[in-house]
A and B are shown apart, each in its own frame.
Chain A
Amino acid sequence: MASKTKTPSRKAPKATKAPVQTGMYRPSTVYKSPRTLAVNQLPAQFGRADLEFIGVDHSGASYEARVYVNNPKANANTQPTVANGYAGSYYIFGHGGCFGDIGHCDIPQKQDAFDRRPSHPLEPIRKVVIATDAIKQAAAQSAEIHVTVVPVIMSWTEKCDLTDVMKFDHINLVTYD
């Protein structure tokens, strides 16, 4: 049996300066969960804990999203280790921007119930990070859980905006027996 806790939608951040390149990959705007989860809302025992990222945009650059639990200062230079609260990463194989005519990358609504065309390739996706160890560690050390996600851009085309590559609707924390 699974339990779910939803965090609110991520708001678009303010425009920032161009990110500083660190080594081969480039950093981009970091996400910090606006809400925290009280540890006493978690089941007393669970065998697995997932962080589900819902409504993830994949239209632009390819990037790694490093997920940290209870490390609000995490950034692209933070070592992804258990001690730093690193839970895991999801990766986006991006479409690289729009290479079609005007409107090609707009996600259409189904015309009616008889419209059986496949869904648009750019429909937002769901990514799952298995975060069991990080969640258990955080629950053992703190009364609250919050999530920081650090994007690191791996590859891009000339059509990609590199200042804010990571967009998703919300994060679910799901535990399983």
Chain B
Amino acid sequence: MTSLIVRKNADNLDAAELQALRTGYTKAQAIMDNRGYNYFAGLHGIPNWYCWHHDHTTGSAVNAKLFLPWHRAYLLSFERAIRDQSPAAPKVGLPWWDWSSAISHSTGVPKAFSVATVGGVANPLRRGHIIAPTATPPINRLTRRFPGNPAQLPTAAQITNLLNLGQFNDFSNQLENIHDFIHGWTGGNNGSIGGDMGSLGTAAWDPIFYTHHCMIDRLWYMWQVKHGVNNIPAALLPLVLTPFNMKVEDVLSINALGYEYAVSFTTL
């Protein structure tokens, strides 16, 4: 029987799970074809610009708000690519970064994604290598990150208020506003230049990007539990989430997509 992928809090991964995740990232970062980290990072901003943010109008009159479904499909594809490169056991799912937690308000970015080295080797969860030869000018460097004051991160009370919003469009707008703040906060600046999470073009090369978006996706899931898994404007359902060969209606149920969110997972 196929079991669901369990996505966990990044601060709660055990040593074996972290090593499996690092192995997946390391191998994916070494692959330059369409199975690799550089390819998937390039789907979001530079050079392909497939990402979907804020209100959009497509060829129809529908005012499409596809921020949440597009990123759900994106994370799913990325997760599969990482799992292809990860050990068979333990099974690894993308972790989420709960920026509203007490730990985050003390230390900011999860330790697993901020330590420089692990066992004397560069931590693949801390930086990515941007290879974008078609950008103007071409980009070929490691990502940079200058996080802000952890005390500025969203609070649990803000999350509670967010989850109480009853309409999908309203919830999506307000969640996206928090999302935008986290990007600016995490990228930050060193006085001279900003970090990559603060720029849409290069944000997806920073490994924390996927962990941040896992939290965004988790909040959507928690909102769906409260307000209904199918609670989304009907006009959005048939819209295609390019380039993932999926429609909005295909990404509403995370269980149907093969994963779930768990605070803890123990086999007795």
Contacts and interface: CB of A to CB of B under 8 A. Distances in A.
A130 B135 contact: no
A157 B41 CA distance: 18
Given A100-B136, A130-B174, A93 B201 contact: no
A21 interface: yes
Given A21-B191, A63-B184, A157-B193, A125 B54 contact: yes
A126 B54 contact: yes
Interface residues of B, number: 45
Given A64-B181, A130-B174, A158 B198 contact: no
Given A92-B180, A117-B59, A128-B173, A155 B195 contact: yes
A138 B8 CA distance: 44
A45 interface: no
A128 B174 contact: yes
B110 interface: no
Contacts, number: 125
A133 B53 CA distance: 28
A157 B200 contact: no
Nearest to A123: B56
Contact of A155 (B49, B53, B174, B194): B194
Contacts of A160: 194
A171 interface: no
B58 A62 contact: no
Q: Chain A: interface secondary structure?
A: loop
> Which 9 pairs across A and B sit closest by C-beta, in order of nearness?
A155-B198, A96-B199, A116-B59, A155-B194, A154-B184, A91-B180, A125-B54, A155-B187, A62-B184
Interface of B: 45-47, 49, 51, 53-59, 132, 135-136, 139, 146, 148-149, 170, 173-174, 177-181, 183-185, 187-189, 191, 193-195, 197-203, 242
Given A24-B189, A155-B187, 7 more contacts: A58-B53, A62-B180, A93-B53, A101-B136, A121-B49, A128-B170, A155-B199
